[in-house]
Amino acid sequence: MRPALPFSYPGIAGDIDRLASQLRLLLDAAEWSAPDSVAILNLACGRADETGVLLSTAAPLAGRRFYLGIDLRAPEIAEAKRRWMATVSTGDEINFRCGDASRTDRMASLPAFDLIFIRHQNFWSDVPVWTRLYRNAIERMKDHGTLIITSYFDREHELASACLGQLGLHRVSEIRHFASRELPDAPGKSVDRWLAAFRKASI
């Protein structure tokens, strides 16, 4: 699935290509297999630059793909809509919503999701909000569903993973992405530095 608009910044197209290959490895290691009718939720999605690779990597053959991205920031959601909503093909329903992704418990008419994706999760910026975001996301996930996070930083990835463990998930695969692009704004920060997939421990 190709974007209808070019990405906003130099470097993003390469990041997205690398994300696709890491995501494929992560999903294979997690023994992920998409159902024919798949529902994917992308939380705190920002511009949702990864929409195309997420759909084509996680559910290339699904007959029906429902995909929803949610973020607080209206300009990013507007950009995501411009980039991706024109590319919808038969069988796809792609939506973006401006809203609080930690309050999916209050959003009516959401389906149960097979895959929940949170790229560059930001757990340590507000632990109570992100704990609620994770808890409510898990409630929206099917029993055999998969939740994936990616992280910019080593420590933030550890903290978020520990929180997900306390909320009843277990990690089924994890990748330290050594070819991830270093970012100059903070030491030890790189694009999709870590990826991890989780499932309900009780299943």
Ligand X SMILES: C[S@@+](CC[C@H](N)C(=O)[O-])C[C@H]1O[C@@H](n2cnc3c(N)ncnc32)[C@H](O)[C@@H]1O
Cβ 6 to ligand X shortest distance, Å: 16
User: Strand 141-151 vs strand 194-200: parallel, antiparallel, or unpaired?
Assistant: antiparallel
- Rank residues 61 and 128 by Cβ distance to ligand X and give the closer one: 128
The Cα-based distances of 116 to 6, 19, 23, 139 in angstroms read: 25, 16, 13, 11
- Rank residues 65 and 120 by Cβ distance to ligand X and give the closer one: 120
- Rank residues 76 and 114 by Cβ distance to ligand X and give the closer one: 76
- Rank residues 102 and 146 by Cβ distance to ligand X and give the closer one: 102
Q: Looking at this protein, which amino acid is placed at residue 54?
A: L
- Residue 8 token pair: 């906003």
Cβ 15 to ligand X shortest distance, Å: 9
In the complex, the residues that contact ligand X under the rule CB under 6 A are 44-46, 70-73, 76, 100-102, 119-120, 122, 129
Cβ 46 to ligand X shortest distance, Å: 3
The Cα-based distances of 6 to 79, 119, 179 in angstroms read: 11, 20, 23
Question: Which residue of this chain has its Cβ atom nearest to ligand X in the complex?
Answer: 46
Rounded Cα–Cα distance for residues 160 and 123 (Å): 6
Cβ 144 to ligand X shortest distance, Å: 24
